[in-house]
Amino acid sequence: MIDDIRLDSKHPLQHQLYQELSERILDQRYPSGRQLPPSRQMAHDLSISRNTVNAVYEQLKAEGFLQSFAGKGVFVHEDIKSAVTPSGPGLHKPVGAGMRLPPLPALPRLKSKPVEDASLPFQPGLPDLDAFPIRSWNRTLHHQESRRSLRGYDSIQGYQPLRRAIAAYLRTSRGVRCEEHQIIITNGAQQALSLLAEVFLQSGDNILCENPGYRGARNALGRFGNPLVPIPLKKHVLDVEALAGLGPARLLFCTPTHQYPMGGILDLSQRMALVQWAQRNGCWIIEDDYDSEFHFYNKPFAAIQGMFENAPVLYMGSFSKTLLPALRVGYLVVPEAVVEPVLWAKQISGGETPLLTQATIAEFIESGQFTRHLRRMRQLYRDKWQLFQHEVTEKLGGLAQPVAESAGMHLVLEGNFDDLALSQWLKTRGFGSTPLSAHFLGEDVRTGLVLGFASASEREITQCVATLRSALAKQ
Amino acid sequence: MIDDIRLDSKHPLQHQLYQELSERILDQRYPSGRQLPPSRQMAHDLSISRNTVNAVYEQLKAEGFLQSFAGKGVFVHEDIKSAVTPSGPGLHKPVGAGMRLPPLPALPRLKSKPVEDASLPFQPGLPDLDAFPIRSWNRTLHHQESRRSLRGYDSIQGYQPLRRAIAAYLRTSRGVRCEEHQIIITNGAQQALSLLAEVFLQSGDNILCENPGYRGARNALGRFGNPLVPIPLKKHVLDVEALAGLGPARLLFCTPTHQYPMGGILDLSQRMALVQWAQRNGCWIIEDDYDSEFHFYNKPFAAIQGMFENAPVLYMGSFSKTLLPALRVGYLVVPEAVVEPVLWAKQISGGETPLLTQATIAEFIESGQFTRHLRRMRQLYRDKWQLFQHEVTEKLGGLAQPVAESAGMHLVLEGNFDDLALSQWLKTRGFGSTPLSAHFLGEDVRTGLVLGFASASEREITQCVATLRSALAKQ
């Protein structure tokens, strides 16, 4: 009777026997009313303990698969037939054939695949993971790790001491006008963008984006199908004068203190014109201040958020570059009237940050360790930039042109080559990069490579440039 | 000239002076072309160091606020006027008056406010925070905390060893059919629901929800405005026979192994009928297995996800109750063909979990500590349940009726009282709860309290019941 049951020694026996029996009952190989062998016999036939068989029988009885009658034995439950029969086929297939799934969801309109592990050297956005002060970070973690108040639920807005620390940091370092109640902790920059899309966009609203620009922002802001309207660049910054010809928009995404990826900085008169344009046109500016801590070609500028009281600016930043990507912590700074709608969206969509992570960052900032870390990283990245620029100028002369303004944590190398193919080939050599053309909307693209040198060692910088030279010289 | 500038000693002087000067330039109190005093004089007048003034002047020059002419001095930049004048008013207001913001986003249709700190005893869903094995947890954390591979970016799907550990746990403990590639780590249960809404729902698709049921699911699934269709309960489980009269739907949200909040369990024939109905009608079942580790009235049943190969089931769970809410880690188990669409939605919306948190949970499970912890908590919560039930029966007889099946981590007390007012009043006494009526869709509600006893101490259990008795006896 049970001669078709095979148990292996790799998995828990009780679990296997439960699965084998319940499957046979569900697909009616063991029909309703059929008697099962006594547990003693089943145990003997399968060479397992009788306790295991009894436990499985009990579980199957509790769940309604089996029923037992005193003195008669154990039977497949008589209700099962009535549950299956009136409903037609579907459940009568042999085991393993499976059911027909309901209609599957469509994949989004976007082309590229979800990003997998992106921790190769030269991957744009990746900081130097080896230079992270892991010992002092862990000491801070240990101060916080046992606190009971970090175990339960907390405010959707984010851990209050972290919001306070971020507000103080942004006021003094970035000129941002903010108090802690305007700060919303996010799960990296991507969630910040996603929440803004959810809160601000109605069907048909246009979104203005720098072209070339940051792809993650386009994916998040365009996720409900709103049109993405490219803003052309002029001298590596968004062309403020071009805005007048682009029609109305609800959101404008920009990187005014360091255009991504080209590196230009909007000067004061351009900033004023941008804010005035936004105000006159009822458009919100999303200011992504993604790497202002590390500018080398120019001194970092204050954020446009701080230029005017109540400017129509939604400011965002993250700790992915200043601390570690793996922390997944970013922040939004929004006018008071925008806080509640964003909190609503965050509550509904989920995505809060573990309290211990938030508390550790808060102490790391308030104790002054964050500022010291930034100071060290600024020097380290500046040294790497100088080496990288020197290598590129010496060895790639004529093959690719560095865009000096882009230097922060990455450098753009422009050149006339198939940048997608080159980027993929570099990956096989162990070097990350993104093709410049992928940052463009539409067909009119320029080619080149975006190389994040912050994550590369001196040796990797030399090696990567040599590898690039050999590839480009062959063309 | 600078007699209206006041600096205080509480904030960095350089930052204050930068703000004071840039504001005066932006609102044209210091018009274009105006000369500023030499840094020596400014420093003397404000009683600050000349270095501070020089640093601010340099910053303002770099940003385009000021310009200097050799031998003549420092002036407000002449480009500023041209940026302001042609654009009309807007920027001419006195400082502090602020700008007019663009149109603000609307608040969602939903009524209640975003949840703030929800860590009071008896708050439903909250585990016993004091019983958490913080020492062995921290030891596990310390094994993982310094690993370089946990510092960068990782797969959107979630840390592979954690997915492997969850798959093994769900196969043996919950009868779920899954491999690690079907698991997607989420930011608690809420993000899981939100991702499913984003992936599966088209405009006009209906969503079926148990009534009463879990409010968080309704908020997440209904966030794009899709109609929420209530499924009535019958004997504390969803009435499978009623489905035929409810019309087509794309998603059906349910808690088949322990109806939330009423506690009923679908028996085998009801489960089979539910799955068959879903298959015939092209509807996906979201199975929220929110507290199956802790059932006391009945033995926990296997998940319906595991009943059939390729069942149309999207299975979800979280570590908020089995470990800690503050970790914000949940998981989805979906058929292979659904993985990529969900990863797309997750990549676009953000919301990954810090790698150190994921790695710590993975080791905690794989080392067997998770199973030991669950065993201890099961005993602890069972003791609390018995005490709570005894207190309720003894002291509230006639005033409120406990729903025995609901017992897992919470107990439902039904009664004819204003449950919203009572819940709010209890909060002022230091006890969490949710009103039963808030779990209903529509106007036809029953009243009562949902009380999460897992988080309450023995003393708090006695106190809470006494407090309830005094309140109910007065009515």
CATH number of the domain residue A193 falls in: 3.40.640.10
Please tell me which of the candidates B148, B301, B327 has its beta carbon nearest to residue A63. Answer: B301
Q: What is the mean pLDDT of residues A451-455?
A: 95
Structure confidence at residue B15 (pLDDT) = 82
Q: What is the mean pLDDT of residues A427-434?
A: 94
CB atoms within 10 A of CB B130: 10
CA B126 to chain centre: 13
Structure confidence at residue A298 (pLDDT) = 65
Are A352 and A386 in a shared domain? Answer: no
B259 domain-assigned:
yes
Q: Which of A369, A398, A428 is the last residue of a domain?
A: A369
Place of tokens 């009269």: B245
Q: What is the mean pLDDT of residues A182-205?
A: 95
Per residue in A47-70, pLDDT (tens digit) is: 999 999 998 998 888 888 899 998
For the CA atoms of B286, B375, B452, B395, the dihedral, rounded to the nearest 10 degrees, stands at: 130
Are A365 and A412 in a shared domain? Answer: no
CATH number of the domain residue A29 falls in: 1.10.10.10
Are B236 and B351 in a shared domain? Answer: yes
The segments of chain B whose pLDDT lies below 50 read 84-97, 114
Per residue in A416-425, pLDDT (tens digit) is: 999 999 999 9
Beta-carbon separation of A347 and B190 below 8 A: yes
Q: What is the mean pLDDT of residues A192-201?
A: 96
Q: Which of B323, B340, B369 is the last residue of a domain?
A: B369
Per-residue b or e along A186-219, where b marks 16 or more CB atoms closer than 10 Å to that residue's CB: bbbbbbbbbbbbbbbbeeebbbbbbbbbbbbbbb
Mutation test of the interface with chain B: which of A77, A272, A285, A323, choosing the one with the most B Cβ atoms within 10 A? Answer: A272
Please tell me which of the candidates A119, A275, A340 has its beta carbon nearest to residue B153. Answer: A119
Which residues between 169 and 188 in chain A have a beta carbon less than 8 angstroms from any beta carbon of chain B? 171-172, 175, 186-188
Residue B331 is encoded by which pair of tokens?
A: 């998981």
Structure confidence at residue A201 (pLDDT) = 95
A279 domain-assigned:
yes
Closest alpha carbon within chain B to A101: B312
Closest alpha carbon within chain B to A313: B101
Structure confidence at residue B295 (pLDDT) = 79
pLDDT of residue A95 exceeding 50, the answer is no
Structure confidence at residue A108 (pLDDT) = 65
Pick the closest to residue A272 from B445, B259, B22, B74 (CA basis): B22
A198 domain-assigned:
yes
β-sheet bridge partners, residue A450: A412, A434
**A370, A136 in Cβ contact below 8 A?**
no
Are A316 and A388 in a shared domain? Answer: no
**B81, B32 in Cβ contact below 8 A?**
yes
Per residue in A111-166, pLDDT (tens digit) is: 555 455 578 999 999 999 999 999 999 999 999 999 999 999 889 999 999 999 99
| pLDDT band at residue A96 under the 50/70/90 scheme | very low
Domain that holds residue A396: 372-472
Q: What is the mean pLDDT of residues A19-47?
A: 89
Per residue in B310-332, pLDDT (tens digit) is: 889 999 999 999 999 999 999 99
Are A224 and A276 in a shared domain? Answer: yes
Per residue in A229-258, pLDDT (tens digit) is: 999 999 999 999 999 999 899 999 999 999
| pLDDT band at residue A474 under the 50/70/90 scheme | confident
Structure confidence at residue A23 (pLDDT) = 84
Are A292 and A314 in a shared domain? Answer: yes
Size of interface A-B (CB pairs under 8 A): 375
Angle at A142 between CA A137 and CA A143, to 5 degrees: 100
A233 domain-assigned:
yes
Check CB contact of A273 with chain B, cutoff 8 Å. Answer: yes
Measured between alpha carbons, how far apart are the two ends of chain B, in Å?
A: 71
Q: What is the mean pLDDT of residues A367-390?
A: 94
CA distance A35 to chain B (A): 18
Overall domain count for chain A: 3
Are A443 and A381 in a shared domain? Answer: yes
CATH number of the domain residue B420 falls in: 3.90.1150.10
Structure confidence at residue B446 (pLDDT) = 95
Are A168 and A208 in a shared domain? Answer: yes
φ/ψ region of B313 (left if φ > 0, alpha if ψ in -120 to 50, else beta) reads beta
pLDDT of residue A85 exceeding 70, the answer is no
CA distance A394 to chain B (A): 30
Lowest mean pLDDT among A125-129, A178-182, A442-446: A442-446
Which residues between 27 and 66 in chain A have a beta carbon less than 8 angstroms from any beta carbon of chain B? 59, 62-65
B113 domain-assigned:
no
| pLDDT band at residue A110 under the 50/70/90 scheme | low
- Looking at per-residue pLDDT, the higher value among A333 and A407 belongs to A333
B105 domain-assigned:
no
Angle at A181 between CA A175 and CA A182, to 5 degrees: 50
Structure confidence at residue B85 (pLDDT) = 41
| pLDDT band at residue A406 under the 50/70/90 scheme | confident
B106 domain-assigned:
no
Are B139 and B251 in a shared domain? Answer: yes
Are A65 and A210 in a shared domain? Answer: no
Are A356 and A293 in a shared domain? Answer: yes
| One-letter identity of residue B52 | T
Place of tokens 């970016």: B153
| pLDDT band at residue A307 under the 50/70/90 scheme | confident
A95 domain-assigned:
no
Are B266 and B354 in a shared domain? Answer: yes
Q: Which of A51, A68, A83 is the last residue of a domain?
A: A83
